[in-house]
A and B are shown apart, each in its own frame.
Chain A
Amino acid sequence: MNTVIQVQNIHKWFGSRKILDGITFDVCEGETLVIMGGSGCGKSTLLKILIGLLEPDEGGVLIFGDDMASVPEDQKNRIRKKFGMLFQGAALFNSLAVGENVALPLKEHTSLDENIVRIIVKVKLELVGLTGFESLKPYQISGGMKKRVALARAIALDPKIVFYDEPGAGLDPITARVIDHLIMDLTKKLKITSVVVTHEMKSAFRIADRMIVLHQGKVVACDTPDKIQNSTNPYVQQFIHGEIDGPISFQETREHYLKGILGENAES
Protein backbone atom coordinates (compact mmCIF):
# COMPACT_ATOMS: atom_id res chain seq x y z
CA MET A 1 0.00 0.00 0.00
CA ASN A 2 1.18 3.51 -0.75
CA THR A 3 2.21 5.79 2.06
CA VAL A 4 0.36 9.11 1.90
CA ILE A 5 1.56 10.78 5.09
CA GLN A 6 5.03 10.38 6.55
CA VAL A 7 5.68 11.89 9.95
CA GLN A 8 9.40 12.03 10.55
CA ASN A 9 10.88 12.56 13.99
CA ILE A 10 8.84 15.61 15.01
CA HIS A 11 9.93 17.70 18.00
CA LYS A 12 7.97 20.68 19.30
CA TRP A 13 8.58 22.97 22.24
CA PHE A 14 6.29 25.63 23.68
CA GLY A 15 8.75 27.86 25.53
CA SER A 16 10.77 25.48 27.67
CA ARG A 17 8.05 22.81 27.69
CA LYS A 18 8.56 19.93 25.30
CA ILE A 19 5.23 18.91 23.77
CA LEU A 20 6.30 16.45 21.09
CA ASP A 21 9.40 14.35 21.50
CA GLY A 22 10.45 12.56 18.35
CA ILE A 23 7.17 11.37 16.80
CA THR A 24 7.51 9.11 13.76
CA PHE A 25 4.81 7.17 11.91
CA ASP A 26 3.36 6.58 8.45
CA VAL A 27 -0.21 6.58 7.22
CA CYS A 28 -1.09 4.31 4.30
CA GLU A 29 -3.58 5.01 1.56
CA GLY A 30 -7.18 4.18 2.44
CA GLU A 31 -6.62 3.31 6.09
CA THR A 32 -8.16 4.88 9.17
CA LEU A 33 -5.49 5.77 11.69
CA VAL A 34 -6.62 6.78 15.18
CA ILE A 35 -4.30 8.86 17.35
CA MET A 36 -5.13 8.47 21.04
CA GLY A 37 -3.78 9.88 24.23
CA GLY A 38 -4.79 11.65 27.41
CA SER A 39 -5.32 15.37 27.72
CA GLY A 40 -2.13 17.32 27.27
CA CYS A 41 -0.23 14.47 25.59
CA GLY A 42 0.31 16.53 22.43
CA LYS A 43 -2.47 15.13 20.19
CA SER A 44 -3.87 18.50 19.16
CA THR A 45 -0.40 19.97 18.61
CA LEU A 46 0.49 16.96 16.44
CA LEU A 47 -2.70 17.43 14.40
CA LYS A 48 -1.98 21.16 13.95
CA ILE A 49 1.48 20.28 12.68
CA LEU A 50 0.03 17.68 10.29
CA ILE A 51 -2.30 20.23 8.69
CA GLY A 52 0.35 22.94 8.61
CA LEU A 53 -1.10 25.34 11.20
CA LEU A 54 2.00 24.94 13.35
CA GLU A 55 5.56 24.26 12.32
CA PRO A 56 7.64 21.61 14.05
CA ASP A 57 10.91 22.71 15.66
CA GLU A 58 12.57 19.61 14.25
CA GLY A 59 11.53 16.92 11.80
CA GLY A 60 9.01 17.11 9.00
CA VAL A 61 5.66 15.98 7.66
CA LEU A 62 5.46 14.67 4.11
CA ILE A 63 1.99 14.66 2.57
CA PHE A 64 2.07 12.91 -0.80
CA GLY A 65 5.83 13.41 -0.67
CA ASP A 66 5.69 17.20 -0.14
CA ASP A 67 7.14 18.60 3.06
CA MET A 68 4.52 20.85 4.69
CA ALA A 69 7.00 22.61 6.95
CA SER A 70 9.55 23.74 4.38
CA VAL A 71 7.45 24.77 1.36
CA PRO A 72 6.28 28.37 0.82
CA GLU A 73 2.71 29.41 1.73
CA ASP A 74 1.45 29.12 -1.86
CA GLN A 75 2.60 25.54 -2.14
CA LYS A 76 1.14 24.81 1.30
CA ASN A 77 -2.27 25.98 0.09
CA ARG A 78 -1.95 23.69 -2.91
CA ILE A 79 -1.23 20.72 -0.62
CA ARG A 80 -4.10 21.73 1.66
CA LYS A 81 -6.57 21.31 -1.19
CA LYS A 82 -5.75 17.60 -1.14
CA PHE A 83 -7.05 17.13 2.38
CA GLY A 84 -10.06 18.11 4.44
CA MET A 85 -10.32 18.77 8.14
CA LEU A 86 -13.18 18.34 10.59
CA PHE A 87 -12.64 20.67 13.55
CA GLN A 88 -13.71 19.79 17.07
CA GLY A 89 -16.24 22.62 17.23
CA ALA A 90 -17.20 22.20 13.54
CA ALA A 91 -15.84 25.75 12.81
CA LEU A 92 -18.66 26.61 10.40
CA PHE A 93 -18.88 30.23 9.30
CA ASN A 94 -21.81 31.64 11.22
CA SER A 95 -22.45 34.42 8.72
CA LEU A 96 -22.96 31.88 5.91
CA ALA A 97 -25.85 29.45 5.46
CA VAL A 98 -25.20 25.69 5.57
CA GLY A 99 -25.15 25.42 1.76
CA GLU A 100 -22.80 28.40 1.42
CA ASN A 101 -20.46 26.85 3.98
CA VAL A 102 -20.18 23.67 1.93
CA ALA A 103 -19.90 25.68 -1.29
CA LEU A 104 -17.10 27.92 0.04
CA PRO A 105 -14.10 25.71 -0.88
CA LEU A 106 -15.67 25.03 -4.30
CA LYS A 107 -16.19 28.72 -5.01
CA GLU A 108 -12.71 29.62 -3.77
CA HIS A 109 -10.75 26.94 -5.56
CA THR A 110 -12.70 26.12 -8.71
CA SER A 111 -14.33 28.14 -11.44
CA LEU A 112 -17.38 25.87 -11.59
CA ASP A 113 -20.71 27.26 -12.66
CA GLU A 114 -23.07 28.33 -9.88
CA ASN A 115 -25.54 25.55 -10.80
CA ILE A 116 -22.91 22.85 -10.70
CA VAL A 117 -21.71 24.08 -7.31
CA ARG A 118 -25.32 23.86 -6.08
CA ILE A 119 -25.57 20.25 -7.28
CA ILE A 120 -22.26 19.28 -5.66
CA VAL A 121 -23.38 20.89 -2.38
CA LYS A 122 -26.61 18.87 -2.55
CA VAL A 123 -24.70 15.64 -3.15
CA LYS A 124 -22.26 16.29 -0.31
CA LEU A 125 -25.06 17.17 2.11
CA GLU A 126 -26.89 14.02 1.06
CA LEU A 127 -23.76 11.96 1.82
CA VAL A 128 -23.92 13.18 5.43
CA GLY A 129 -27.70 12.78 5.61
CA LEU A 130 -28.71 16.43 5.57
CA THR A 131 -30.70 16.85 2.38
CA GLY A 132 -32.63 20.11 2.23
CA PHE A 133 -30.75 21.94 4.99
CA GLU A 134 -28.93 24.31 2.61
CA SER A 135 -30.64 27.53 3.60
CA LEU A 136 -30.43 27.19 7.39
CA LYS A 137 -27.82 29.15 9.34
CA PRO A 138 -25.35 27.22 11.54
CA TYR A 139 -26.93 28.56 14.74
CA GLN A 140 -30.28 27.06 13.72
CA ILE A 141 -29.06 23.45 13.70
CA SER A 142 -27.89 21.06 16.44
CA GLY A 143 -24.30 20.23 17.38
CA GLY A 144 -24.41 16.86 15.63
CA MET A 145 -25.79 18.43 12.46
CA LYS A 146 -23.07 21.10 12.56
CA LYS A 147 -20.43 18.35 12.65
CA ARG A 148 -22.07 16.68 9.67
CA VAL A 149 -22.17 19.95 7.72
CA ALA A 150 -18.51 20.48 8.59
CA LEU A 151 -17.81 16.97 7.30
CA ALA A 152 -19.65 17.77 4.07
CA ARG A 153 -17.52 20.92 3.75
CA ALA A 154 -14.34 18.93 4.45
CA ILE A 155 -15.12 16.53 1.59
CA ALA A 156 -16.37 19.23 -0.81
CA LEU A 157 -13.23 19.17 -2.93
CA ASP A 158 -13.05 15.34 -2.93
CA PRO A 159 -9.90 15.20 -0.80
CA LYS A 160 -7.73 12.12 -0.55
CA ILE A 161 -7.21 12.56 3.20
CA VAL A 162 -9.56 13.79 5.94
CA PHE A 163 -8.34 14.76 9.41
CA TYR A 164 -10.80 14.57 12.29
CA ASP A 165 -10.28 16.38 15.59
CA GLU A 166 -12.35 14.68 18.32
CA PRO A 167 -15.29 13.89 16.03
CA GLY A 168 -17.50 12.64 18.86
CA ALA A 169 -16.70 15.36 21.42
CA GLY A 170 -19.73 17.03 22.95
CA LEU A 171 -22.24 14.72 21.21
CA ASP A 172 -24.65 12.20 22.70
CA PRO A 173 -23.64 8.52 22.25
CA ILE A 174 -26.08 7.94 19.38
CA THR A 175 -25.04 11.00 17.39
CA ALA A 176 -21.38 10.18 18.07
CA ARG A 177 -22.04 6.73 16.66
CA VAL A 178 -23.71 8.24 13.58
CA ILE A 179 -20.59 10.34 12.99
CA ASP A 180 -18.40 7.23 13.41
CA HIS A 181 -20.47 5.43 10.82
CA LEU A 182 -20.15 8.37 8.47
CA ILE A 183 -16.37 8.28 8.85
CA MET A 184 -16.28 4.55 8.08
CA ASP A 185 -18.73 4.99 5.23
CA LEU A 186 -16.77 7.79 3.60
CA THR A 187 -13.53 5.87 3.99
CA LYS A 188 -15.08 2.95 2.15
CA LYS A 189 -17.20 4.76 -0.45
CA LEU A 190 -14.81 7.55 -1.37
CA LYS A 191 -11.59 5.64 -0.57
CA ILE A 192 -10.49 8.41 1.76
CA THR A 193 -7.55 8.07 4.12
CA SER A 194 -8.65 9.15 7.60
CA VAL A 195 -6.58 10.40 10.52
CA VAL A 196 -8.71 10.66 13.65
CA VAL A 197 -7.59 12.25 16.90
CA THR A 198 -9.74 11.13 19.81
CA HIS A 199 -9.72 9.94 23.38
CA GLU A 200 -13.04 8.13 23.19
CA MET A 201 -12.20 4.45 23.39
CA LYS A 202 -15.43 2.97 22.01
CA SER A 203 -15.36 5.16 18.96
CA ALA A 204 -11.62 4.61 18.46
CA PHE A 205 -11.87 0.81 18.47
CA ARG A 206 -14.91 0.96 16.19
CA ILE A 207 -13.34 2.91 13.38
CA ALA A 208 -9.60 2.25 13.55
CA ASP A 209 -7.58 0.13 11.17
CA ARG A 210 -4.49 1.08 13.13
CA MET A 211 -3.96 3.01 16.36
CA ILE A 212 -1.27 5.17 17.86
CA VAL A 213 -1.10 5.88 21.58
CA LEU A 214 0.73 9.03 22.65
CA HIS A 215 2.05 9.74 26.11
CA GLN A 216 4.10 12.78 27.09
CA GLY A 217 4.85 13.60 23.48
CA LYS A 218 6.05 10.11 22.54
CA VAL A 219 4.48 7.23 20.64
CA VAL A 220 4.13 4.44 23.20
CA ALA A 221 2.22 2.03 20.95
CA CYS A 222 1.37 1.75 17.27
CA ASP A 223 -0.60 -1.31 16.20
CA THR A 224 -3.94 -2.75 15.10
CA PRO A 225 -6.89 -2.37 17.52
CA ASP A 226 -6.75 -6.08 18.52
CA LYS A 227 -3.09 -5.92 19.40
CA ILE A 228 -3.55 -2.63 21.26
CA GLN A 229 -6.38 -4.23 23.25
CA ASN A 230 -4.06 -7.06 24.28
CA SER A 231 -0.97 -4.91 24.67
CA THR A 232 1.19 -5.55 27.71
CA ASN A 233 2.35 -1.96 27.84
CA PRO A 234 1.14 -0.61 31.22
CA TYR A 235 0.51 2.93 29.83
CA VAL A 236 -1.70 1.55 27.07
CA GLN A 237 -3.59 -0.73 29.45
CA GLN A 238 -4.20 2.06 31.93
CA PHE A 239 -5.32 4.41 29.17
CA ILE A 240 -7.72 2.11 27.34
CA HIS A 241 -9.33 0.96 30.58
CA GLY A 242 -9.39 4.44 32.09
CA GLU A 243 -7.88 3.36 35.41
CA ILE A 244 -6.73 5.83 38.02
CA ASP A 245 -3.86 3.66 39.26
CA GLY A 246 -0.99 2.94 36.93
CA PRO A 247 2.14 4.45 35.46
CA ILE A 248 0.27 7.67 34.54
CA SER A 249 -0.23 9.09 38.03
CA PHE A 250 -2.88 11.64 38.87
CA GLN A 251 -2.58 11.46 42.63
CA GLU A 252 0.55 12.88 44.17
CA THR A 253 2.49 10.60 46.49
CA ARG A 254 4.03 11.74 49.77
CA GLU A 255 7.42 11.97 47.98
CA HIS A 256 5.96 14.22 45.29
CA TYR A 257 4.49 16.62 47.85
CA LEU A 258 7.80 16.78 49.71
CA LYS A 259 9.71 17.40 46.51
CA GLY A 260 7.25 20.10 45.56
CA ILE A 261 7.65 21.88 48.88
CA LEU A 262 11.33 21.33 49.65
CA GLY A 263 12.80 21.09 46.16
CA GLU A 264 14.56 18.24 44.37
CA ASN A 265 16.96 17.46 47.22
CA ALA A 266 14.25 16.65 49.74
CA GLU A 267 14.78 13.38 51.57
CA SER A 268 11.67 11.34 52.00
Chain B
Amino acid sequence: MIHLLHFLESIERRINPFFIEVARLTRLSQNFLYWTLVAPVIGKRGLRRHSFIEQLVFVGNESVFIMFLVAASVGAVLALQAAYQLKQFGAVLYTGALVSVSMTRELGPLVTAIVIAGRVGASVTAEIGTMKVQEEVDALTTMGIPPVPFLVVPRILAILIMLPCLTVLGNTIGIFGGFLIGVLGLGIEPAIYLHKSFDALVQKDIITGIAKSIVFALLIGIISTHKGLSVEGGAEGVGRATTQSVVLSIISIIISDCLCTGIFYYVFP
Protein backbone atom coordinates (compact mmCIF):
# COMPACT_ATOMS: atom_id res chain seq x y z
CA MET B 1 0.00 0.00 0.00
CA ILE B 2 2.78 2.39 1.00
CA HIS B 3 4.65 1.49 -2.20
CA LEU B 4 1.57 2.31 -4.24
CA LEU B 5 1.23 5.69 -2.49
CA HIS B 6 4.90 6.46 -3.15
CA PHE B 7 4.44 5.45 -6.76
CA LEU B 8 1.38 7.71 -7.16
CA GLU B 9 3.22 10.55 -5.45
CA SER B 10 6.16 10.23 -7.81
CA ILE B 11 3.80 10.27 -10.80
CA GLU B 12 2.13 13.38 -9.40
CA ARG B 13 5.51 15.04 -8.94
CA ARG B 14 6.32 14.41 -12.58
CA ILE B 15 2.95 15.40 -14.01
CA ASN B 16 2.33 18.50 -11.88
CA PRO B 17 5.05 20.68 -13.47
CA PHE B 18 3.63 19.76 -16.88
CA PHE B 19 0.17 21.08 -15.99
CA ILE B 20 1.65 24.18 -14.37
CA GLU B 21 3.60 24.82 -17.58
CA VAL B 22 0.47 24.31 -19.71
CA ALA B 23 -1.48 26.69 -17.46
CA ARG B 24 1.25 29.35 -17.79
CA LEU B 25 1.37 28.96 -21.58
CA THR B 26 -2.42 29.33 -21.72
CA ARG B 27 -2.30 32.45 -19.55
CA LEU B 28 0.39 33.99 -21.74
CA SER B 29 -1.66 33.20 -24.87
CA GLN B 30 -4.72 34.84 -23.32
CA ASN B 31 -2.63 37.87 -22.37
CA PHE B 32 -1.24 38.05 -25.90
CA LEU B 33 -4.74 37.96 -27.42
CA TYR B 34 -5.98 40.55 -24.93
CA TRP B 35 -3.16 43.01 -25.66
CA THR B 36 -3.30 42.42 -29.42
CA LEU B 37 -7.06 42.44 -30.04
CA VAL B 38 -8.91 43.84 -27.02
CA ALA B 39 -6.59 46.50 -25.57
CA PRO B 40 -6.42 48.75 -28.68
CA VAL B 41 -10.23 48.71 -28.91
CA ILE B 42 -10.75 49.84 -25.31
CA GLY B 43 -8.22 52.63 -25.72
CA LYS B 44 -5.13 51.04 -24.14
CA ARG B 45 -1.75 51.13 -25.73
CA GLY B 46 -1.25 47.67 -27.22
CA LEU B 47 1.44 47.27 -29.83
CA ARG B 48 4.65 49.35 -29.67
CA ARG B 49 5.10 50.19 -33.33
CA HIS B 50 8.82 50.99 -33.21
CA SER B 51 9.70 47.73 -31.50
CA PHE B 52 7.37 45.82 -33.86
CA ILE B 53 9.17 47.13 -36.95
CA GLU B 54 12.55 46.27 -35.41
CA GLN B 55 11.33 42.73 -34.80
CA LEU B 56 9.91 42.43 -38.33
CA VAL B 57 13.34 43.28 -39.72
CA PHE B 58 15.06 40.88 -37.35
CA VAL B 59 12.70 37.95 -38.01
CA GLY B 60 12.22 38.59 -41.73
CA ASN B 61 15.05 40.38 -43.50
CA GLU B 62 17.81 38.87 -41.45
CA SER B 63 16.53 35.32 -41.99
CA VAL B 64 16.31 35.54 -45.77
CA PHE B 65 19.85 34.39 -46.53
CA ILE B 66 19.78 31.34 -44.27
CA MET B 67 16.31 30.46 -45.64
CA PHE B 68 17.67 30.71 -49.17
CA LEU B 69 20.45 28.22 -48.40
CA VAL B 70 18.26 25.74 -46.54
CA ALA B 71 15.26 25.82 -48.92
CA ALA B 72 17.41 25.51 -52.06
CA SER B 73 19.21 22.49 -50.56
CA VAL B 74 15.95 20.84 -49.49
CA GLY B 75 14.47 21.38 -52.98
CA ALA B 76 17.57 19.92 -54.62
CA VAL B 77 17.66 16.88 -52.33
CA LEU B 78 13.95 16.32 -52.89
CA ALA B 79 14.46 16.36 -56.68
CA LEU B 80 17.32 13.88 -56.49
CA GLN B 81 15.45 11.49 -54.18
CA ALA B 82 12.29 11.73 -56.26
CA ALA B 83 14.19 11.08 -59.48
CA TYR B 84 15.88 8.05 -57.89
CA GLN B 85 12.48 6.41 -57.27
CA LEU B 86 10.64 7.71 -60.35
CA LYS B 87 13.41 6.48 -62.62
CA GLN B 88 12.33 2.91 -61.86
CA PHE B 89 8.92 3.64 -63.41
CA GLY B 90 10.34 5.75 -66.21
CA ALA B 91 8.57 8.74 -64.75
CA VAL B 92 11.48 11.12 -64.16
CA LEU B 93 9.45 13.86 -65.89
CA TYR B 94 7.20 13.97 -62.85
CA THR B 95 10.07 15.05 -60.56
CA GLY B 96 8.96 18.68 -60.82
CA ALA B 97 5.42 17.83 -59.75
CA LEU B 98 6.64 15.90 -56.73
CA VAL B 99 9.04 18.66 -55.65
CA SER B 100 6.51 21.48 -55.98
CA VAL B 101 3.70 19.65 -54.17
CA SER B 102 5.82 18.32 -51.30
CA MET B 103 7.59 21.66 -50.94
CA THR B 104 4.40 23.75 -50.66
CA ARG B 105 2.32 21.28 -48.67
CA GLU B 106 4.92 19.96 -46.29
CA LEU B 107 8.61 20.68 -46.39
CA GLY B 108 8.49 24.42 -47.07
CA PRO B 109 6.42 25.27 -43.97
CA LEU B 110 8.16 22.66 -41.79
CA VAL B 111 11.75 23.50 -42.67
CA THR B 112 11.14 27.25 -42.47
CA ALA B 113 9.52 26.87 -39.06
CA ILE B 114 12.40 24.75 -37.76
CA VAL B 115 14.99 27.24 -39.03
CA ILE B 116 13.08 30.16 -37.44
CA ALA B 117 12.62 28.24 -34.17
CA GLY B 118 16.39 27.85 -34.01
CA ARG B 119 17.38 31.30 -35.19
CA VAL B 120 14.62 33.58 -33.89
CA GLY B 121 13.03 31.50 -31.09
CA ALA B 122 16.39 30.98 -29.38
CA SER B 123 17.33 34.62 -29.56
CA VAL B 124 13.91 35.77 -28.28
CA THR B 125 14.20 33.44 -25.26
CA ALA B 126 17.80 34.46 -24.58
CA GLU B 127 17.03 38.18 -24.89
CA ILE B 128 13.92 38.19 -22.69
CA GLY B 129 15.59 35.74 -20.28
CA THR B 130 18.61 38.03 -19.87
CA MET B 131 16.28 40.97 -19.29
CA LYS B 132 14.48 38.94 -16.63
CA VAL B 133 17.74 38.00 -14.89
CA GLN B 134 19.01 41.59 -14.93
CA GLU B 135 15.74 42.79 -13.32
CA GLU B 136 14.79 44.70 -16.49
CA VAL B 137 11.42 42.95 -16.63
CA ASP B 138 10.83 43.87 -12.97
CA ALA B 139 11.85 47.43 -13.80
CA LEU B 140 9.22 47.54 -16.55
CA THR B 141 6.57 46.25 -14.18
CA THR B 142 7.43 48.79 -11.47
CA MET B 143 7.30 51.57 -14.05
CA GLY B 144 3.70 50.52 -14.66
CA ILE B 145 4.54 49.15 -18.13
CA PRO B 146 3.11 45.63 -18.51
CA PRO B 147 5.81 43.37 -20.02
CA VAL B 148 3.41 41.49 -22.32
CA PRO B 149 2.53 44.34 -24.73
CA PHE B 150 6.05 45.77 -24.45
CA LEU B 151 8.11 42.61 -24.97
CA VAL B 152 5.87 39.71 -26.01
CA VAL B 153 3.33 41.18 -28.46
CA PRO B 154 5.80 42.75 -30.97
CA ARG B 155 7.85 39.55 -31.08
CA ILE B 156 4.96 37.12 -31.55
CA LEU B 157 3.27 39.36 -34.13
CA ALA B 158 6.53 39.74 -36.07
CA ILE B 159 6.96 35.95 -36.18
CA LEU B 160 3.26 35.55 -37.07
CA ILE B 161 3.61 37.86 -40.07
CA MET B 162 7.09 36.92 -41.22
CA LEU B 163 6.92 33.12 -40.98
CA PRO B 164 4.22 32.74 -43.68
CA CYS B 165 6.15 35.21 -45.88
CA LEU B 166 9.38 33.28 -45.40
CA THR B 167 7.46 30.05 -46.07
CA VAL B 168 6.25 31.34 -49.44
CA LEU B 169 9.80 32.44 -50.19
CA GLY B 170 11.14 29.06 -49.06
CA ASN B 171 8.61 27.25 -51.27
CA THR B 172 9.70 29.25 -54.29
CA ILE B 173 13.39 28.79 -53.64
CA GLY B 174 12.88 25.07 -52.98
CA ILE B 175 11.06 24.64 -56.27
CA PHE B 176 13.87 26.58 -57.94
CA GLY B 177 16.47 24.29 -56.29
CA GLY B 178 14.60 21.27 -57.65
CA PHE B 179 14.40 22.96 -61.06
CA LEU B 180 18.19 23.40 -61.16
CA ILE B 181 18.75 19.71 -60.36
CA GLY B 182 16.01 18.65 -62.78
CA VAL B 183 17.38 20.70 -65.67
CA LEU B 184 21.12 20.54 -65.07
CA GLY B 185 21.41 17.16 -63.36
CA LEU B 186 18.59 15.06 -64.78
CA GLY B 187 18.46 16.69 -68.20
CA ILE B 188 14.75 17.51 -68.19
CA GLU B 189 13.63 20.24 -70.61
CA PRO B 190 13.15 23.49 -68.53
CA ALA B 191 9.73 24.25 -70.03
CA ILE B 192 8.46 20.72 -69.38
CA TYR B 193 9.82 20.73 -65.83
CA LEU B 194 8.06 24.01 -65.05
CA HIS B 195 4.88 22.93 -66.75
CA LYS B 196 4.77 19.68 -64.74
CA SER B 197 5.59 21.57 -61.53
CA PHE B 198 2.80 24.09 -61.80
CA ASP B 199 0.33 21.72 -63.38
CA ALA B 200 0.34 19.49 -60.32
CA LEU B 201 0.13 22.40 -57.91
CA VAL B 202 -3.35 23.50 -56.84
CA GLN B 203 -4.41 26.47 -54.75
CA LYS B 204 -5.25 24.23 -51.81
CA ASP B 205 -1.64 23.01 -51.55
CA ILE B 206 -0.38 26.55 -51.08
CA ILE B 207 -3.16 27.55 -48.66
CA THR B 208 -2.72 24.51 -46.41
CA GLY B 209 1.02 25.17 -46.31
CA ILE B 210 0.48 28.76 -45.24
CA ALA B 211 -2.17 27.73 -42.70
CA LYS B 212 0.38 25.36 -41.17
CA SER B 213 3.01 28.08 -41.03
CA ILE B 214 0.62 30.32 -39.08
CA VAL B 215 0.13 27.55 -36.50
CA PHE B 216 3.91 27.04 -36.29
CA ALA B 217 4.48 30.79 -35.90
CA LEU B 218 2.08 30.94 -32.94
CA LEU B 219 3.83 27.98 -31.32
CA ILE B 220 7.33 29.44 -31.76
CA GLY B 221 6.21 32.87 -30.54
CA ILE B 222 4.34 31.71 -27.44
CA ILE B 223 6.93 29.11 -26.43
CA SER B 224 9.99 31.33 -26.91
CA THR B 225 8.54 34.34 -25.07
CA HIS B 226 7.13 32.15 -22.28
CA LYS B 227 10.48 30.42 -21.77
CA GLY B 228 12.20 33.80 -21.69
CA LEU B 229 9.83 35.23 -19.09
CA SER B 230 10.11 32.16 -16.88
CA VAL B 231 13.92 32.20 -16.62
CA GLU B 232 15.24 31.91 -13.11
CA GLY B 233 18.77 31.78 -11.77
CA GLY B 234 21.31 33.77 -13.74
CA ALA B 235 23.26 32.92 -16.88
CA GLU B 236 22.80 29.20 -16.37
CA GLY B 237 19.03 29.68 -16.31
CA VAL B 238 19.14 31.65 -19.57
CA GLY B 239 21.13 28.86 -21.25
CA ARG B 240 18.75 26.18 -20.00
CA ALA B 241 15.66 28.13 -21.04
CA THR B 242 17.07 28.78 -24.52
CA THR B 243 17.74 25.08 -25.10
CA GLN B 244 14.30 24.15 -23.77
CA SER B 245 12.69 26.78 -25.96
CA VAL B 246 14.25 25.43 -29.17
CA VAL B 247 13.66 21.77 -28.31
CA LEU B 248 10.06 22.35 -27.23
CA SER B 249 9.34 24.52 -30.29
CA ILE B 250 10.68 21.95 -32.73
CA ILE B 251 8.88 19.04 -31.05
CA SER B 252 5.58 20.93 -30.96
CA ILE B 253 6.04 22.04 -34.58
CA ILE B 254 6.45 18.44 -35.74
CA ILE B 255 3.54 17.13 -33.64
CA SER B 256 1.22 19.94 -34.75
CA ASP B 257 2.35 19.35 -38.34
CA CYS B 258 1.18 15.76 -38.00
CA LEU B 259 -2.17 16.93 -36.58
CA CYS B 260 -2.64 19.63 -39.23
CA THR B 261 -1.83 17.24 -42.07
CA GLY B 262 -4.31 14.75 -40.63
CA ILE B 263 -7.01 17.42 -40.42
CA PHE B 264 -6.38 18.61 -43.96
CA TYR B 265 -6.41 15.05 -45.26
CA TYR B 266 -9.57 13.84 -43.55
CA VAL B 267 -11.64 16.97 -42.90
CA PHE B 268 -10.88 18.97 -46.06
CA PRO B 269 -10.07 16.28 -48.60
Contacts and interface: CB of A to CB of B under 8 A. Distances in A.
B141 A93 contact: no
Interface in A101-122: 104-105, 108-109
A208 B135 CA distance: 26
Interface string B139-168: 101111110000000000000000000000
Contacts, number: 49
A87 interface: yes
Contacts of B145: 77, 104-105, 108
A73 interface: yes
A38 interface: no
Contacts of A76: 144
A254 interface: no
* Residue among A77, A80, A87, A91 facing the most chain B CB atoms (10 A cut-off): A91
Interface of B: 45, 131, 134-136, 138-139, 141-146
The range of chain A's interface size is 20 to 34
Nearest to B137: A91
A191 interface: no
In the A-B complex, list the 3 residue pairs whose CB atoms are closest, starting with the nearest: A80-B144, A91-B139, A77-B144
Contacts of A52: 141-142
Nearest to B141: A53
* Residue among B135, B136, B143, B146 facing the most chain A CB atoms (10 A cut-off): B143
Interface string A68-89: 0000010011101101010111
A226 B206 CA distance: 78
A125 to B, nearest CB: 17
A263 B209 CA distance: 65
B144 A51 contact: no
A76 B138 CA distance: 14
Contacts of A80: 141-144
Given A87-B135, A89-B134, A91-B136, A53 B142 contact: yes
Nearest to B145: A108
